[in-house]
Amino acid sequence: MNLKLSHLGLAIMISLGVSSLHADEISDQIESGLKAYSEKDYKLALDELKFAEAQLQELVNKENATLLPEPLEGWDAKDVKTQSMGMLGGGSTMTREYSKDKQSLKIEITANSPLLNMVSMMMKNPMMMASNPDIKPYRYKRTKGMSELKNGKLSIKLILAGQILVNLELRDRDKDRLKDKGKDVIKQYLDKMDFSKIKESYLE
């Protein structure tokens, strides 16, 4: 879920309704913006609401971080990273890295980005997939995607509701194990992900 300035009206209404009960930094910031607006100081009002928006986005990012699974037994995991993709045309991405011995896995969720169009086109066009011998169709339950095994890396890409790309990249210095067992490892991580919650959080 990505809060935009145009969505702050709802946040303002909520803040006004609960501010007497639940005053906090964000509601104070929104009220300060409303006060500046009533005094026709529009630049200050905009600055205050932008600051509140940034704080609200931090809360959303913390909630969304729970969408990436905890490590499997015997695996370690780094903290979740989130990033806006404004310079690449919009959208956002969230990443978490996992490791175990000679294996490493990166799970990335990209939402509402124009970059998804290229991946989606390839998935929908069998001829485009067939032109690359390393790429194969892939299905996880009812979700279609594609897999690519190349240069010691197995990549699985799935698109949810046309707007969300779930990408899992598994690397293994043991190439035979990667080829024989790589999809099993990725499936175990997919089994720990809740696609319904991912769509609920990211769909606009």
Q: Which of 122 and 2 is assigned the larger pLDDT?
A: 122
Q: 17 pLDDT exceeds 70? A: no
Q: What is the CATH number of the domain that holds 75?
A: 3.40.1000
53 in the same domain as 131? no
Range of the domain at 172: 69-202
Give the chain's mean pLDDT: 82
Note whether 59 and 82 are same-domain residues. Answer: no
Claim to verify: residue 85 and residue 10 sit in the same structural domain: no
How many domains are there within the chain? 2
Average of per-residue pLDDT across 3-10: 46
Q: What is the pLDDT of residues 96-133, one digit of tens each?
A: 999 999 999 999 999 888 778 878 887 877 777 778 88
Q: Which of 126, 91, 122, 41 is nearest to 202 (CA)?
A: 91
Q: Helix, strand, coil shares of the chain as percentages rounded to 5?
A: 45, 25, 25
Quick one: pLDDT at residue 168? 98
On whether both 117 and 50 belong to a single domain, the answer is no
Residues 19 and 59 in one domain: yes
Query: Does the pTM of the predicted model rise above 0.85?
Result: no
Where does the pLDDT of residue 170 fall: very low under 50, low under 70, confident under 90, or very high at 90 and above?
very high
Top pLDDT among 11 and 53 is at 53
Q: Let me know whether 131 and 92 are in one domain.
A: yes
Please state, in angstroms and rounded to a whole number, the distance separating the CA atoms of residues 101 and 75: 8
CB 23: neighbour CB atoms within 10 A? 12
Mean pLDDT within 78-88: 72
